[in-house]
Amino acid sequence: MKTEFLERDMVSGLKNGLDVIEAFDDRRPRLSLTDVAQITGLSRAAARRYLLTLTRLGYAEHDGKFFSLTPKILRLGYAYLSSTSLPVRIQPFLERVSETTGESSSAAVLDDTDVVYIARSATRRIMSIGLGIGSRLPAFCTSLGRAILAWKDPAWLDAYFRRVPLEARTPWTLTEEAAVRAALEEVRRRGYALVDEELELGLRSMAVPVQNAKGEVVCAINISIQASRMTADELVASALPVLTSVHGELRRLV
C-alpha cells in the first residue's frame, strides 16, 4: 500500500541538501558556490552552508574555488543497490544476452525523467561516454526509457511531458512531444523500443520492458550496437528473440 505524503511532512533542509548533491553531474563535476546557488535556486549563504556541511562530512571537497563530490557519495547509491535484489537477479540474464548476441546489454529503471543503469554486460565500448552502474540518460530518447514510458498511464505521461526538457542529442532526436508520444504508442504496439541514433550518432539500440507477476513494468533491458555494424531490421531480427526469451524468464523472478 502506498503511503500518502503531505507537504507539511517534507523536511526542507534534507531536500535542499539533496538538490545540492544533484547539482553535480558528468557535465558539471566541479562547481563554484555561485554555480550551485544558481542551479538549486538557493541563496549563496544557504548554498555555502550545505556545501561546507557536505565537505565537513567527507561527501565533497573544495580546492579554494570549486567544489566537487568525493567517492564517499557512492555510499548513497550503494544503499539502493544493496537493498534491492533486482540488479543481482538480472545480471546473469544480461550476460547470457551478451554471450548469445556478442553485443552489450544493459538494464535500467526509471528515475523521474531519466533512466538509471542498474546492471550491465559490456562487450565493447559503443558510446563516447562511459556507461556503468548508476549512469543516467534521458528516458525520452533512449530505448530503455521508451520501453518503460510506453506503459505509463496517460495522466502520468501528461505530468512527465510538462517537466521533461526534450532537448536534441543528435539531428535525429525526436524533440516534439507529439512525435515522442507517437513513438511510445509504437512501442506499445510492437512490444519493444527501437531507437536509431537519437541518443548518439552511430548508436542503435532496442529494448523490451520487464514486468513483474502483476504485469507492472519495473525496468527494461536492451542491446546496443554501433549502427555501422547492423541495420535496424537486422538488429530486430537477431536480438528480439533473445530479449523476448529473457524477458519471459525474468517475469517470474522480479
pLDDT digits 0-9 by tens, 180-228: 999 999 999 999 999 999 999 999 999 999 998 888 899 999 999 998 8
- The per-residue pLDDT of the chain, averaged, comes to 88
Query: 45: helix, coil or strand?
Result: helix
Query: 242: helix, coil or strand?
Result: helix
CB atoms within 10 A of CB 188: 14
Would you kindly state where each structural domain of the chain is located, as residue ranges?
Answer: 7-73, 84-250
CB-based contacts of 43, cutoff 8 Å, min separation 6: 37
Question: Buried (b) or exposed (e) across 127-145, using 16+ Cβ within 10 A?
Answer: beeebebebbbbbbbbbbb
Q: Which long-range contacts (CB under 8 A, 24 or more apart) does 33-37 make?
A: 33/67, 36/67
Q: Which CATH number applies to 84-250?
A: 3.30.450.40
Query: Phi/psi class of residue 102: alpha, beta or left (left: φ > 0; alpha: ψ in -120 to 50)?
Result: left
**pLDDT at residue number 254:** 64
Q: Which CATH number applies to 7-73?
A: 1.10.10.10
Please measure the distance between the N-terminal and C-terminal CA atoms of the chain and give it in whole angstroms. Answer: 18
If pLDDT is split at 50, 70 and 90, which confidence band does 1 have? very low
Higher pLDDT, 48 or 122: 48
Q: Does the predicted model carry a pTM greater than 0.75?
A: no
